[in-house]
Structure 1
């Protein structure tokens, strides 16, 4: 079994898919490189390579194409033969040290102009090299017009000089790309067209075309930057500083210096600076930045809080559970960036298509330029001009970026709403789901029991709850916690209890206000007192509803009973209804007993398969697939792991935990059942957007191809057809970013 290393690089300045293609081709040719994944929108490159790979040389190779490169952290080793399409659920990475490659590998920053003039990805556009190159080309064009007007005899030379100002760096990068294995780059097509225009003395148009090309690329870079900044803005939500408590004193420190186990003070109105657990205080927390939940969530001691969320109306002391590099938002950003490197099937098809499409365009342009003059005696200048225009029309930028731009926007938009999807293939696949199997506990239900009924036999409901709560003080048992939560909700004044004893498997006893109190199972209670038939009937009816019943005895009196059940999530009924409306078959798969599962299933209106082992859930998912369904499995990512892996799309339901983020193909951070349908909707909207983009890019090319051959349009409209289409496609994709429900 071979073991490959994985190393990620930050690559500054990429603004379109052709950039990624050039880098991919160049790096794949480097010794020891087994695989390359480049994301324009994330600005990253991940390579799989062996231990002998020279990372410094790889950085210089990418830098030679005109990009600034920086290695991100240490590499990781992966067993290449174990990889499959369930993303992080199959990731058995172990850290590996690359120090043997020398410190130079850690930072290979290389500056340089490119055909797209790859400058900084941040800051005002005019401060980047791309912006400066465009401004310089524009000024040169204006000067050429002035000189040509004043001195008509040197007009051709003036425009030729203006053209060369913009073309020289483009041509240099075209040659570098060709030497690195990409002869048919957009820079090469641009260079051929500009030199051809120079040969037929169309220097004015050539200079204008080079300038328009740079303007189009500048606009494209600005649009791509907006998509990239969307997910980066999520990371910016985490405060840079924190108030650390040490030795009874509080001091302000950088948030990145916090270590696991530290205690921080979070003042009312402040953003929480680290993932952690509340150790004192209670407050409402605005979790919208992480989960998309608009309603603040009330948090008390031992509740989990996330970095970047906003504390409400009271001070909290929080024990840090994750470093700045590993908090929820940092992991979300990392996962989205990695997801953008994983191509969707549509994107892979477009990439393959463009490899044949671009050379074909060059052949067609050459035939248009040569055949009419050779065989029909047509004017060489006229048809060479048309051939050059077709060369510009055929640039594949808009087509190639049509899919990744939409997918990147949707991945970012989803992440900001607590919907994580690990790659384009997952995003595309969600819209094709025809069946969804959901776990019960923690997925369709809250995962913790709640008091549903207080049944008075001899005492009032309030008195039953008051005495039961006294018995449960200090217990961490789920049923005890539900009784205490109900008492707190009702504002019950809980009396102290003495001589509390737990009776294994039966219940608990204590002395409260001078009386012996017992709370336990009906069977254990029946061993102490006689339970009348009508009360046994009531208890049996509650059991039939899937509820757990505890009986309260005060001395030798039968005081009452408390029924508890793990209740459905607040939005479960509506969430399942949304899936049904989309024509998706839904089924509950649970290991719980049939009686409890059936009661919950009837309440939710869902088909139930109960008393299942993990392998049974996996088998049922396989059966659904064999029946022709495209199956999604929604679960908590632990006991559902086999079924999550077996499904076409595995979706983990959780609140930002490691399991929710790393186990399945997708994760719902907030735990809303309705978010499954929202993922399906986002997928379908994304695919519609992609189809619109492809239609726009190919449609514009087709129109201008015909008008160019007919002599209606020339070089200027040709370059506008390419760069204009690229900008239109990118802006259309950004609609998903601004309003994913549109």
Structure 2
């Protein structure tokens, strides 16, 4: 096998996120014993299969594909790349390739499971426009990359459950000029790729009974409008209902009472009726269909009061639900509003205010005390303390000086700063965080995927049952048509699983929004649920539990005073860039010990350094250096061995004749580490483990200081993966905490990858499942508690929704449940589920 072939195979089978330039890799050729990627939106392979069985299934499917002739009949005019979501294992990639090759006009397909990308060659643009629709049929999502057109994002008002989103999606999918459409109920967003004006998209959405507006970020585009205040249908309908009800106790004629009830139905039911029409046309059975059927049925059998009450309760419930849902959907709004809209930019000798979108990379901006930083950049003049809590969740301000990076949205607390812009407004850390959080809120969790599948089967079954209840008893059992029609209509109302469908997404959105405000980025509902199920956490040592840079631990003077020893050591190390030399120099500077006048500075590679001070040559180096010079270390051997056994690095200071002192250097524990470890233990985690490439002595010392239960020492990067797998073999769900770069293999093999330091690390934000933006463990216990509470609330919501439906179904047939009570139970249950989920928005949820 050639070198290039090996590189390709290793890249594919390791699950690397980096694609080798110029090489298109097919998921069907990736057949390894590595653990399949965890980043799954919806499982398409059976979740109860053991890992080996899933891998064998993937490999068998891949091998079947090898024999097929996949070469195109003619070379495609161009290749268009797509980002694919929902692939669970390499067999999914093989399935996509096999299916798309059969489509007319498709000349080539290559799917790379490792990078979740697909390259398609087609005869014309129409082929590429149909790819997202074809992928949706296969159970995946495909979004074109670099097509010259981007999906527009609209905010949709009025959606109160997932079936509303399905109605809009199906309606727009039938439009000939819409290539791809995705509607997400939890975030209230519509993403659409089309070739028509935005106004037409908004008109089509309105036909479905909803209002859509372009997001503010698209304000330059045609069709941007300010959302109108919603029509007060609930209030007017309620007033008309009240007038009719009061009229029954007065001399008002029955015709007038009926007229008031009919108007109440018309005003409150206009929107649901219109939505129901388009839902039926697109093949959806949503709440609007059921409520419209119930109201019309009630009017048909002469139960005008019941029909008006149904419509009013439904309108009122929707109004309350929408208000509550908007609070949940806007859980990330605080992040979106923290960065200023304008920046003070230096132009020549003047300072000019510009919109942040107009500021280019390299321009200089000024940030005054008390102002927020408008754009990411580097300080070129000034020093200050910045409050980074809006991004990282850090409780204390961070000191910044020339050369340090600053982030948009952070608060300048004291001195004035001049900052050179390093990123455009759309590429800042806060912009990326907002984008990733919104993506995370739109991803379905396993529980939500299950509930959606259940609801898709449950609703049509109960709808058919309701029709049978209306028809079968009057024909074959006896009883009046009006009585059984009434019971059937009540069953229709109960049939809608609204509370059940929103039980999971609202909780997921609330929890992810809460975490984001505290400096923790959770990449989706799947990972939120996994965080709640974690039993053990493995920590990388360097840069996670420790500072990642050495500090002086001991200063032992053998001849003379410690201060003089430090002065000599500081003088020798002053011009060295080695991390140990920097630690010694910093130690001297912190204690205000000035260096001596030195000359003849020399670095001794692998051994140390030397300098001439006051006519004498002094050395700072390891024991090996002095042994080579013939200096007797006999009396110091035991002391040196003891220090080394504690995991410390030794720097001996002396001349060619004698040792004058010993300075030991060690990596130090982060201030927050011990407190965080103790908080995690109180959270009930079974085991906390440290992984390190350091020797046994260092590992033992750091583990004891940090308070972890167990450690693995002398590990190479691939050994860390084996350590994770060993913990998993012990029956534990394992999370790995690392820096997101060097620990990539271990992060990928764990059940949940948690990266440190996301605010300044693009790789961490892109590759990990959870990112701690503050680069410390302070918020990890909060994340675990939040995830567990989210799981608890989701279970509460699901069980409450199911039990409410069951109780309502049981009460219908004895005649205890009236039509308006059925509506109240449905909308009330949905509202209770939303309010229960909103508890996750609280600061210390």
Q: TM-score, normalised by structure 1?
A: 0.84
Task: Give 1:364 deviation, angstroms.
Answer: 3.2
Query: Which shows bigger deviation, 193-202 or 242-251?
Result: 242-251
- Do 1:402 and 1:694's aligned partners in 2 also have CA atoms closer than 8 Å? yes
Q: Which residue of 1 aligns with 2:143?
A: 5
Q: Give the Cα–Cα distance (whole angstroms) in 2 for the partners of residues 611 and 227 of structure 1.
A: 47
2:306 and 2:552 map into 1 onto residues whose CA distance is: 79
Following superposition, the deviation at residue 658 of structure 1 comes to 0.9
1:394 aligns with 2:495: yes
Once the two structures are TM-superposed, the CA of residue 54 in structure 1 deviates from its matched residue by: 8.2
1:563 CA drift (Å)? 1.9
Aligned to 2:437: 336
Q: Render the CA deviation track for 1:623-668: whole Å, top value 9, x for unaligned.
A: 4434433222221111211221222211112241212211111111
Kept in 2, the 8 Å contact 1:399–1:694? The answer is: yes
Cα distance change of structure 1 residues 551 and 305 upon mapping to structure 2, 3 Å threshold: farther
Instruction: Give structure 2 stretches of 5+ with no counterpart.
Output: 1-109, 111-117, 120-141, 145-150
Partner of 2:102: none
Q: Identify the range of structure 1 (186-195 vs 299-308) with the bigger mean alpha-carbon deviation.
A: 299-308
What is the CA-CA distance between 1:251 and the residue it aligns to? 4.0
CA distance in 1, matches of 2:423, 2:598: 38
Secondary structure (helix, strand or coil) at the match of 2:232 reads: helix
Q: For the Cα contact (< 8 Å) 1:660–1:669, is it kept in 2?
A: no
| Conservation of the 8 A alpha-carbon contact between 1:433 and 1:584 | no
Equivalent in the alignment of 1:611: 714
Task: Name the residue aligned to 1:314.
Answer: 415
> Quick check: 2:202–2:211 contact (8 Å CA) kept in 1?
no
Residue 232 (structure 2) aligned to one of 132, 135, 155: 132
1:18 corresponds to 2:156: no
| Alignment equivalent of 2:814, drawn from 707, 710, 717 | 710
CA pair 535-485 structure 1, distance change in 2 beyond 3 A: same
Q: Deviations over 1:249-277 (max 9, x none)?
A: 54443333333333333333322222333
The 2-side partners of 1:351 and 1:138 are apart by 33
Segment drifting more, 168-177 vs 65-74: 65-74
User: How far apart are 1:465 and its partner, in Å?
Assistant: 3.2
Deviation at 1:404, TM superposition (A): 0.3
Distance 1:110 1:208 in 2: 37
Cα displacement (A) at 1:456: 1.8
Tell me which residue corresponds to 2:462: 361
Is the deviation greater in 17-26 or in 144-153? 144-153
Does 2:484 correspond to 1:346? no
User: Equivalent residues in 2 for 1:187-266 (5 A)?
Assistant: 187-247=288-348, 249-266=350-367
CA contact (8 A) 1:20 1:38 kept: yes
- Matches for 1:155-194 after TM superposition, within 5 Å: 155-182=257-284, 184-194=285-295
Residues 1:440 and 2:552 aligned together: no
Q: How many residues align?
A: 693
One of 718, 727, 731 as aligned partner of 1:628: 731
Q: CA deviation at 1:700?
A: 2.6
CA distance in 1, matches of 2:599, 2:345: 39
Q: CA deviation at 1:163?
A: 0.9
User: Partners in 1 of 2:611 and 2:175 — Cα distance?
Assistant: 74
Q: Does 1:539 align with 2:677?
A: no
Distance 1:311 1:485, change over 3 A: farther
How many Å apart are 1:676 and its aligned residue? 3.6
Alpha-carbon shift at residue 55 of structure 1 (Å):
9.9
Q: Using a 3 Å threshold, how does the CA distance of structure 1 residues 109 and 313 change in structure 2: closer, same or farther?
A: closer
Partner Cα separation in structure 1 for residue 712 and residue 730 of structure 2: 17
In structure 2, how many angstroms separate the alpha carbons of the residues matched to 1:392 and 1:108? Answer: 40
Give the CA deviation at 1:136: 3.8
Structure 1 residue matching 2:283: 3-state secondary structure: coil
Q: Give the Cα separation in 2 of the matches to 1:64 and 1:43.
A: 17
Tell me whether 1:641 sits opposite 2:744 in the alignment.
yes
Contact 1:286 1:297 in 2 (8 A): yes
Aligned match of 2:783 = 679
Counterpart residue number, 2:87: none
Aligned to 1:82: none
Instruction: Note the C-alpha offset of 1:448.
Output: 1.5
Q: Report the 3-state secondary structure (helix = DSSP H, G, I; strand = E; otherwise coil) of the residue aligned with 2:754.
A: strand
- Following TM superposition, by how much is the alpha carbon of 1:497 offset from its aligned partner in structure 2, in angstroms? 5.5
- In structure 2, do the counterparts of structure 1 residues 499 and 580 end up closer, same or farther at CA, with 3 Å as the change threshold? same
Q: 2:181 and 2:686 mapped to 1: Cα distance?
A: 36
> Which of 204-213 and 405-414 deviates more?
204-213
Does the 8 Å contact 2:518/2:779 carry over to 1? no
Q: Does the residue aligned with 2:419 lie in a helix, a strand or coil?
A: strand
Alpha-carbon distance, 1:682 to partner: 1.7
The match for 2:755 among 628, 644, 652 is: 652
Query: Matched residue of 1:431: which SS?
Result: helix
Q: Are 1:383 and 2:383 matched, yes or no?
A: no
* Cα distance change on mapping 1:37 and 1:679 into 2, 3 Å: farther
TM-score by length of 2: 0.75
Structure 1, unaligned stretches of length 5 or more?
Answer: 75-103, 112-118, 121-126
SS at 2:313 equivalent:
helix
